[in-house]
Amino acid sequence: MGIRAWGPGPDIMNLRDIHTPVLLDRCIELLAPALERDGAVFVDATLGMGGHSEAFLERFPALRLVGLDRDQDALRIARERLARFADRVTLVHTVYDGIAEAVASAGFDAADAILFDLGVSSLQLDVADRGFAYSQDAPLDMRMDQSTGTTAADILATYGEGDLRRIFERYGEEKLAGRYARAIIAARAQAPIERSGRLVDILVTATPYAAQRTGHPAKRVFQALRIEVNRELAVLERAIPAALGILPVGGRIVVLAYQSLEDRLVKREFARSSASTAPSGLPVELPEHTPRFRLLVKGAELAPDDERATNPRATSVRLRAAERVEAAV
């Protein structure tokens, strides 16, 4: 996807009614030490509707924001929300694995603090015709950037049974992946599967009654399709190392993940960056082997009970954070 600054657009929603940023105070607390200097650069790698970014711009009056998003609707809404900070804001239309190029295109050599708020956004879930929600009938799109790429309907029309099973197992961790793949193949032979309502009906019909009592049959399949459509894990696997690479000594990163596949990938990259590379048995650790990062929280932090009770988006969140302590070799 190309990188470009985002232009004007209408304010189309009452943002504060539909979007409550997850773990906002904790994100500010963790990133604040890297943002105290005048002109510090904060990268919101998953801008969404700008809730986190708005709070950071209010909290740090000299902060410069580079906001990234692949969703053009989100960029338009965020631009309206952040209009009063326009002289300190650069919004970039890009997938977040393009973070280094986006920061450079905004005129900066590095980022002092970076935030990733992963997964599907409030905008994408709450606007029915995007096709992300299995609870509402809509065209099966699921693209975070609706200007390019393959839709969920395309995948259901063209993938073979083995490939459908693979993505349901890998990205949805779905135990009934094979059953669902066969049901989809049979159903599409009768008519294309183009709407979420029909896909839900197919999945419910294919699900044994006992399994229906453990959760909605469509939940994991919809997650898997969304991840496949947007190549989310492949993008994230490139994005985290790229983000770590543009942090200076003292720079910090916070990642909010909402499902286990994302969190395991973030955990692995943070562990790799915070571990010594010295060979086993070396009596003295040489400077080139010292860890480049230190972890700021133990394991993955959950949202507190009160936030989970008032903000459904916080129910499954896992927060990880790190700080650069050594310059890149």
Which residues line the annotated binding site for S-adenosyl-L-methionine? Answer: 50-52, 69, 96, 117, 124
| CB contact at 8 A, 46 and 68 | yes
Cα→Cα distances 58→61, 108, 255, Å: 6, 21, 21
DSSP β-ladder status, 252-257 and 318-324 = antiparallel
Residues contributing to the annotated binding site: 50-52, 69, 96, 117, 124
Integer-rounded Cα radius of gyration of the chain? 21
List Cβ neighbours of 208 (8 Å cut-off, separation of 6 or more): none
Burial 164-177 (b: 16+ CB within 10 A, else e): bbbbbbebbebebb
> Beta-strand (E) ranges in the chain?
41-44, 64-69, 89-93, 113-117, 252-257, 293-295, 318-324
Cα→Cα distances 225→137, 140, 145, Å: 16, 10, 15
